[in-house]
Every structure is written in C-alpha cells, then in structure tokens.
Structure 1
Amino acid sequence: MTETTRADATSAETTADDRPGVGSTPAAGETEVLAGAPPHRLARLITERLMREGLPMAYTQVVPKDAATLILIDRTGPEPKVLVGRRHAAHKFMPGKFVFPGGGIEPGDRAAPAATELDPGAATRLMRAVRHPSPTKARAFAMAAVRETFEETGLLLGRAGAGATSVAPLPSPDGPAAAAAAAAGPDAAHAWAAFARAGLLPDLSALQFIARAITPPRWPRRFDTRFFAVDAAAVAGRVEDVVGPDSELVELVWLALDDAEQLDLAPITLAILAELDHRIANGFRPDLPVPFYRWSRGRMQRSEL
C-alpha cells in the first residue's frame, strides 16, 4: 500500500507484517517538522518521529478500541486556533501530553437524541473500513465526540432541544430513562443530563469528519480514533470547574496552528493539525477526502476514506 492509496472498504486493519522496523526506514538526518508539512509527507514523518522516540516491544497485540475526538476551531482572528488540553501526568496513555478532548464510545451514544444529524457524506465515510458498519454506529462516533468534549472541558455543543430529530426521548435527570442511561455508563448519563438541564441537544450537522487514526501495534493501549472538527461558534454553553489539577485535563490552551511544535504533542496529533491546516486552506469543505492513518509493514501509512 502506498501512503496515499484509498482505504480498503472491508477491514480496519491490514494483515501485513506490523513488526516495528520492518519495511522502509526513515531517511538519515531528516529534520522536517510535522507542523505545516504537506499531507503526502506526513505518514513518513510520523514514522520517523516514532522511530526516534523508540517503539514499544513488550506488549502483545492489543485490539484497538473505538474512540472519537473533537477539535474546536476558532477562526475569528488572523490565524486559526484549536483547543487542546494537557492530560494528567498520572494517565497511562499519553501522560502530560496535550490532546484533543475525546474518548471511547458508550452504549448511550447510539440512542441519545440530537438537534441535527451528521452530513450524509460524513456518515458514509465513517462506515468505510469498519466491521459491521451501520448508520447508528457512524452516528455514535459523532455523539461520543460531543459527549467526551463536555466531560473533559465542560463545553456544551448544541442547539435548543425543540429541533430534535431522534425518536429517542431526552432523559429527565431524575426520570427512569436517566436511570437506564446510568446503567450504561455514569459519565454518559451525567453528560446527557447536563444537556437536558441546559435545554440543548447536540448539533451534529456542525461537525466535520476530518481524519481517522489507529494506534500502532504493541502499544499498551490502542485506539481507532475518529477525528471531528467544529467551529467554536457551535459552543452553546459551559459548565465551570471541569478542568483542574485533579481532572482528566489539567489545563486548556487555544493553540495557533503555526505554534503546534511548541507544545508536547504526539506525532499523530501534529499530523492531524497539519491535515486540518490543509483542509482550512481548501475552504474547510465537508466533501474533502478524509485521511486514514494506520501502521503497516513497519511504518505509518496514509490512505483516504
């Protein structure tokens, strides 16, 4: 597979040899930064960064967990900025690094109501290279990104609830539906109850599906992450005191895209920011191809969904 081929439509992971170091090796003396690099060079640059940092060898194959993340973009100034948060140093995955808010998919994400639905093209791309694809599963990725953003930042992305399109009722914080949601996961129940109290429902039409990436093999924790982006104007409310020294994210930063290399960001995070920069330069259109990063034959590969 070349770095810019179309993704296989039937499997999320390649069957090729995934042993670190097998395949092409990075060019000697390469110093190019990831931030601002053209898309066709990003996969190679990620590989080189990972090789320099050292690839883990002690873990057996871990099945990636479905996850979703959301990138808030502020385009009101002369230069776009994105919201990132620094993870608590005690976390096992990316401790102390700056990340986008996000996390795993919860059962309640499939049935929770929304004010608007995803762009059909985004929903179609979310179902590519997925086992057991379905519109419900595609929608759950977007709902999880909105929910996780609230849980980690306190930001509510939505519209007034009168325009709900889902047949599922919005649970009352004290009603039986909320109790059922709590059985599926206390964090999810808390998040959707907060939306209910604010009179809001998630605005999925505002989200763009912009990238997907799978953590390389032999990492202790692996995620198959869908990256969404949304304009910061979609933030309709905020709950205070969510971010702090004892929280999952200890601080939030609005980061200018040109300053991405100044913070402690993972190589894939830098690559996604470069992809976002390229997307903004091309009009931030929802019909643009969606890059898909995954490890194959000893290096990171970039395809398009």
Structure 2
Amino acid sequence: MSDAAQAAREEKPEEKEPDHHPYYRPKDAATLILVDRSRAVPKVLVGRRHDKVVFMPGKFVFPGGRVDKSDNRVPVAAPIPGALEENLLKGSPKITSSRARSLAVAAIREACEETGLCLGRKAEGSGTKLDGPWQPFAEAGLLPDPSGLFLIARAITPPGRVRRFDTRFFTADASAITHRIEGVVHADAELVELVWVEIGSKPLADLHPMTKNVLGELERRLATGPLRHDAAVPFFHFYGGRMHRDVLGEMK
C-alpha cells in the first residue's frame, strides 16, 4: 500500500512532515468508511496498523489511498448515481466525470485491498477480464459496484508538505459488502486487525483530527435518518495558514 495507504490520512501534528517543501499539486485519493446501522448506535469499520510501519504505527485508520490508473478502466456493475457524480464535480480544482467515477471506484478497490471486504455484484456473462489490483474481484466473479456510495467530505492536505492529497471521503452501508477475502488482515500485514466500533467509542478518539472531523460529519448525517446525496458536503482546505471549512457548491 505504501504511498497509497497514506493518501486519505493527514499526519498527526507530532508526526507531520516538514512544512517548508515547495508546492506540490495534491494527488487525487479516496477513503471508504463502512457503516453498520443494524443496531441503535451505528458502528464503523477501522483497521489497526502494524506497530512497525513508519506512518502512524499502531493507529486505527479507515481504508483509503490514491487513485490508480486501473480505476478509470475497470468495468462496473452499475454506474455511480448522478447525484453522487454531481457532488464530486463540485468545488475547485475541477475534475471530469471520468475522474469522478475513478474516485468512487478507487474507494472500493482500496477497501478490498486493505480489509478483504469487497463491494461488488456478480459479473454474469460479462466476459470482462479483470487483472492487477482487481484480480480479487475477478476470482470472485464480481464487478465493483459504486452505486451505494455517498460522499461525506473532501479534504486537501496543507501546502508545504512533501505528500499532498485531495481526498474524497465516501461511506457505504455494511450490507453492500458482498464478498470477503480471507487472509488479507494478519499479524504481519499492514493492517493487523479489523474492528467494528461504535461511533464515539475510544478507538475513534485517537484518529487524526481531520479524520475525526469527517467522522463527525458522518455522525450528524446518520442522526437525521437515511443518507441522502442532497446533503451539504463540507470541503476542508487550507489558505492563509489555517484550515477552512466550506461547503461544496457554495464556495465563491
């Protein structure tokens, strides 16, 4: 996962990289927060990173990473909803419809790669060959299915960092998980365990501040009932030396 694993997660203040690097254009990235709403208090899926990795050792994180070239080419079981695409196209810098699709698909791929949990549908008679990072889907006879994703937030790493990402945070209901790959998470992997934890519980208190901001947005939306694409989507970005929270589609 390397750089890709770091895509959707900012550095903690005490771990941050020097902020005097020249300007780097942010790379597109995606994170997927899986939610289990089968009980009164929703749970989200987090993975604990290996104690010996350089970046955020032993911390709980959500799966995420950079957009891969294959994300634009892979066939899908269903297109992304028009309202989701509309949300993804809001804000600046602008992206294309194909890039919006790639972002949603990247969130699914990263979740499958890092957790072994795949969101897809049977690819009956498609005859389409999936390879590379999509091989697990091919072996299960699945095509990725982004139709159940919702955009919760967008965030851009501050300037002056050697790694910068323009990350879209998606969520999907746990019922969208259609396939599980065994052996992805183990003692020697980057993620050593997966845990479903209630929103507001202790493991989530140690998340990076930006990720906690996004989780707070998700919690507020879950409290209002079923997720909707027409809800306001916050955009966290930096200028003038501090973070700003705008709403996509309302920025001047």
8 Å CA contact 2:237–2:245 kept in 1: the answer is yes
Provide the identity percentage.
49
What is the one-letter code of the residue matched to 1:118?
A: I
CA RMSD between the two structures: 2.4
Unaligned 5+ segments in structure 1 are 1-45, 173-177, 179-188
| Aligned residues between the structures | 237
User: Separation in 2 of the partners of 1:145 and 1:271?
Assistant: 19
Structure ID, larger Rg: 1
User: Separation in 1 of the partners of 2:150 and 2:59?
Assistant: 24
Match for residue 128 of structure 2? 170
Whether 2:231 is the aligned partner of 1:288: answer yes
For the residue of structure 2 that corresponds to 1:287, the secondary structure is coil
Whether 2:149 is the aligned partner of 1:207: answer yes
Whether 2:177 is the aligned partner of 1:230: answer no
* Paired residues for 1:1-305 under 5 Å: 56-131=18-93, 133-162=95-124, 170-171=128-129, 178=131, 189=132, 191-259=133-201, 263-283=205-225, 284-305=227-248
Q: Relative contact order (alpha carbons < 8 A, sep ≥ 6): 1 or 2 greater?
A: 1
User: Separation in 2 of the partners of 1:103 and 1:133?
Assistant: 18
For the residue of structure 2 that corresponds to 1:162, the secondary structure is coil
Deviation at 1:196? 1.6
For the residue of structure 2 that corresponds to 1:258, the secondary structure is coil
For the residue of structure 2 that corresponds to 1:196, the secondary structure is helix
What is the one-letter code of the residue matched to 1:291?
A: P
Match for residue 9 of structure 1? none
Match for residue 182 of structure 1? none
For the residue of structure 2 that corresponds to 1:103, the secondary structure is strand
User: Separation in 1 of the partners of 2:52 and 2:81?
Assistant: 37
Deviation at 1:118? 1.1
Deviation at 1:93? 3.8
Deviation at 1:72? 0.3
What is the one-letter code of the residue matched to 1:302?
A: R
8 Å CA contact 2:46–2:60 kept in 1: the answer is yes
Q: Cα gap change, 1:117/1:245 in structure 2, threshold over 3 Å: closer, same or farther? A: same
8 Å CA contact 1:112–1:170 kept in 2: the answer is no
8 Å CA contact 1:127–1:135 kept in 2: the answer is yes
Deviations, residues 115-173 of structure 1 (Å, cap 9, x unaligned): 11111111122122344621111000011100010100011111122397xxxx6215x
Deviation at 1:53? 8.2
Deviations, residues 51-102 of structure 1 (Å, cap 9, x unaligned): x988844533333221101010000112001001122344444343221101
Q: Cα gap change, 1:163/1:131 in structure 2, threshold over 3 Å: closer, same or farther? A: farther
- TM-score, normalised relative to structure 1: 0.71
Deviation at 1:216? 1.7
User: Separation in 2 of the partners of 1:61 and 1:208?
Assistant: 31
Q: Cα gap change, 1:58/1:74 in structure 2, threshold over 3 Å: closer, same or farther? A: same
Q: Cα gap change, 1:111/1:206 in structure 2, threshold over 3 Å: closer, same or farther? A: same
For the residue of structure 1 that corresponds to 2:243, the secondary structure is strand
Q: Cα gap change, 1:256/1:163 in structure 2, threshold over 3 Å: closer, same or farther? A: farther
Deviation at 1:246? 2.3
Unaligned 5+ segments in structure 2 are 1-9
User: Separation in 2 of the partners of 1:58 and 1:193?
Assistant: 40
What is the one-letter code of the residue matched to 1:296?
A: Y
